[in-house]
Amino acid sequence: MSLVEIHPDSNFPIQNLPYGIFSTAENPSPRAGARLGDFVIDLAMLDEENAFGKHFGFFADASLNRFMAAGRGVWREIRQRLIRLAGEEQASLKKEALRPIHDAQMHLPVHIGDYTDFYASREHAMNVGVMFRGRENALMPNWLHLPVGYHGRASSVVLSGTDVVRPRGQVKPKDAPPEFIASRQLDFELEMGFFVGTGNDLGKPIAVEDARDHIFGMVLLNDWSARDIQAWEYQPLGPFLAKNFATSISPWVVTMDALEPFRVAGPGQDPAPLPYLGSDSANGLDITLEVTLQSARMDAPQIISRSNMKYLYWGLEQMLAHHTVTGCNMRPGDLCGTGTISGPTEDSYGSLLELTWRGEKPIALPGGESRTFLQDGDTITMKGYCQGDGYRIGFGEVMGKILPPK
């Protein structure tokens, strides 16, 4: 029996208990909380009252970084203590530590020092490759041998609900000189993000078999993309301005311990990766994903994509091992994105670039509207969850509305 009654369809049952940073009008200091149903558990208050058996101090911080740096042993200790506090028949979790979610102002959960985005979906890489290079040359020669990635911009990672201003940049129309315009091909990218908890020293890689001990948890991630700017700028060094203007994440960090029951076998990897990347068959996660679009004229959102993280070719542990194999040092709070998660069917593609096949197949919306790429006033919302037996481990949502260029 839990202190808080949880609906079976809730994203936040006692099996989840994700972490975030919140404040209230009563106490405007940002601090750590755990989500339980429609409430936030004030971890700073519990810590002050020695509810965890000892005083940690880091729950009063305005980010989760020090908690994340404490290591997997502490993460598990706190999680198990919270489950006992909130789940006992005579719950010892004080009601004063519970804050209704509608009273909470959410903040970025982590101080993000670095952000790296991968390109881990074979279906997505194939679709984009076919569009731009033809089916015979769709995958680049390196793609099946390593998790391809690029370094993104940490300073423009924003919380769900933050509006996204349409970027301006150089584009190159066919048979015409470059021009400086507001992007006409603004897109979303359906991704998941994972946060590094404990890092590694410079020069000492994280082994793939140890990588799980270094990953704190996951969020939904939308890596907004200006496709026309990207098409002109990306050679030879990859994305730059087309990606640096905004990346949105959901506010609650779902722990890897909460996700552990939903591990599944990932797609077979052929050729077998080099030994440093390992070959653990259970490197996938069964996370159902959904994208909706709502225009300024629509009364309700329309689902435009349903996908699943289990389709990813490269697993999180492989991404982290590859990232550090050179000796690159990761730090608590570093964020890694999976890259666009596309499935095998047309309705499971994770971007408008694919869903409309580069604008050739517009998506029909209510009231006679259609979309090839995003227009001003459009709102994109992504949701994700794992379905258990009588419970659901959810991520909530990540949402953003497109505003006109400044």
Q: Are 193 and 218 contacting, i.e. CB atoms less than 8 angstroms apart?
A: yes
Same domain, 399 and 325: yes
Same domain, 352 and 224: yes
Specify the long-range contacts of residues 266-273, CB closer than 8 Å, at least 24 apart. Answer: 266/310, 266/312, 266/313, 266/315, 267/122, 267/311, 267/312, 267/313, 269/144, 269/313, 270/144, 271/144, 271/145, 273/145, 273/146, 273/318
Same domain, 100 and 245: no
Task: Give a yes or no: residue 319 inside a domain.
Answer: yes
Task: Give a yes or no: residue 3 inside a domain.
Answer: no
What is the tally of structural domains in the chain? 2
d(CA 332, CA 318): 18
373-378 mean pLDDT: 98
Q: Are 310 and 287 contacting, i.e. CB atoms less than 8 angstroms apart?
A: yes
The dihedrals phi and psi of 401, each to the nearest 5 degrees, come to -110, 140
Q: Report pLDDT digits (tens) over 11-47.
A: 999 999 999 999 999 999 999 999 999 999 999 999 9
Question: Which residue from 363, 63, 327, 9 is spatially nearest to 195, judged by alpha carbons?
Answer: 63
Confidence class of residue 4 from pLDDT cuts 50, 70 and 90? confident
Confidence class of residue 96 from pLDDT cuts 50, 70 and 90? confident
Enumerate residues 6+ apart whose C-beta is below 8 A from 384: 192, 220, 287, 288, 289, 290, 309, 394, 395
Question: Which residue from 373, 48, 395, 393 is spatially nearest to 192, judged by alpha carbons?
Answer: 395
Higher pLDDT pick, 136 / 96: 136
d(CA 227, CA 231): 6
Same domain, 223 and 265: yes
Q: Of 75, 107, 139, which residue is a domain's last? A: 107
Same domain, 84 and 131: no
Task: Give a yes or no: residue 1 inside a domain.
Answer: no
Same domain, 177 and 62: no
Is 0.85 topped by the overall pTM?
A: yes
d(CA 87, CA 23): 24
CATH code, domain with 37: 2.30.30.230
CATH code, domain with 140: 3.90.850.10
Residue range(s) defining the domain that contains residue 226: 115-403
Q: Does residue 142 have a pLDDT over 80?
A: yes
* SS3 of residue 166 by DSSP: coil
Instruction: Tell me which of 55, 124, 151, 322 is the catalytic residue.
Output: 124
**What sign does the CA torsion over 309, 311, 317, 322 have?**
negative
- pLDDT recorded at residue 182: 98
Q: Of 107, 133, 148, which residue is a domain's last? A: 107
The dihedrals phi and psi of 111, each to the nearest 5 degrees, come to -80, 110
Same domain, 233 and 343: yes
199-204 mean pLDDT: 98
Same domain, 380 and 253: yes
- pLDDT recorded at residue 313: 97
- pLDDT recorded at residue 283: 87
Rg (the chain; Cα; Å): 21
Higher pLDDT pick, 298 / 5: 298
Task: Give a yes or no: residue 146 inside a domain.
Answer: yes
Q: Report pLDDT digits (tens) over 30-39.
A: 999 999 999 9
Q: Tell me the percentage of the chain whose pLDDT exceeds 90.
A: 93
Q: Does residue 2 have a pLDDT over 60?
A: no
Strand extents, DSSP E, 284-378? 284-285, 288-294, 302-308, 335-337, 363-364, 370-371
- pLDDT recorded at residue 5: 83
Enumerate residues 6+ apart whose C-beta is below 8 A from 237: none
Enumerate residues 6+ apart whose C-beta is below 8 A from 64: 19, 20, 21, 32, 109, 110, 216, 253, 333
- pLDDT recorded at residue 89: 52
Task: Give a yes or no: residue 218 inside a domain.
Answer: yes
Q: Report pLDDT digits (tens) over 158-200.
A: 999 999 999 999 999 999 999 999 999 999 999 999 999 999 9
Task: Give a yes or no: residue 67 inside a domain.
Answer: yes
d(CA 3, CA 142): 52
Same domain, 298 and 266: yes
The two three-digit tokens of residue 295, written as one number: 């225009």
The dihedrals phi and psi of 313, each to the nearest 5 degrees, come to -75, -45
Question: Which residue from 183, 193, 194, 195 is spatially nearest to 225, judged by alpha carbons?
Answer: 183
Q: Does residue 91 have a pLDDT over 80?
A: no
219-237 mean pLDDT: 96
Q: Tell me the percentage of the chain whose pLDDT exceeds 70.
A: 97
* SS3 of residue 217 by DSSP: strand
Same domain, 155 and 284: yes
- pLDDT recorded at residue 3: 67
d(CA 358, CA 352): 8
The yes-or-no answer on residue 107 being catalytic is: no
Q: Report pLDDT digits (tens) over 348-374.
A: 999 999 999 999 999 999 999 999 999
Complete DSSP assignment for 263-275: EE-----SSPPPG
Residue 281 has a CB neighbour count (10 Å cut-off) of 12
Q: Kind and range of the H or E element at 79?
A: helix 72-87
- pLDDT recorded at residue 56: 98
- pLDDT recorded at residue 88: 65
Look-up: residue for tokens 């369809």?
A: 9
d(CA 258, CA 287): 12
Task: Give a yes or no: residue 2 inside a domain.
Answer: no
Q: Report pLDDT digits (tens) over 58-74.
A: 999 999 999 999 999 99
266-295 mean pLDDT: 92
Q: Of 50, 75, 107, which residue is a domain's last? A: 107
Same domain, 26 and 152: no
Task: Give a yes or no: residue 4 inside a domain.
Answer: no
Same domain, 218 and 350: yes
Mean of per-residue pLDDT scores for the chain: 95
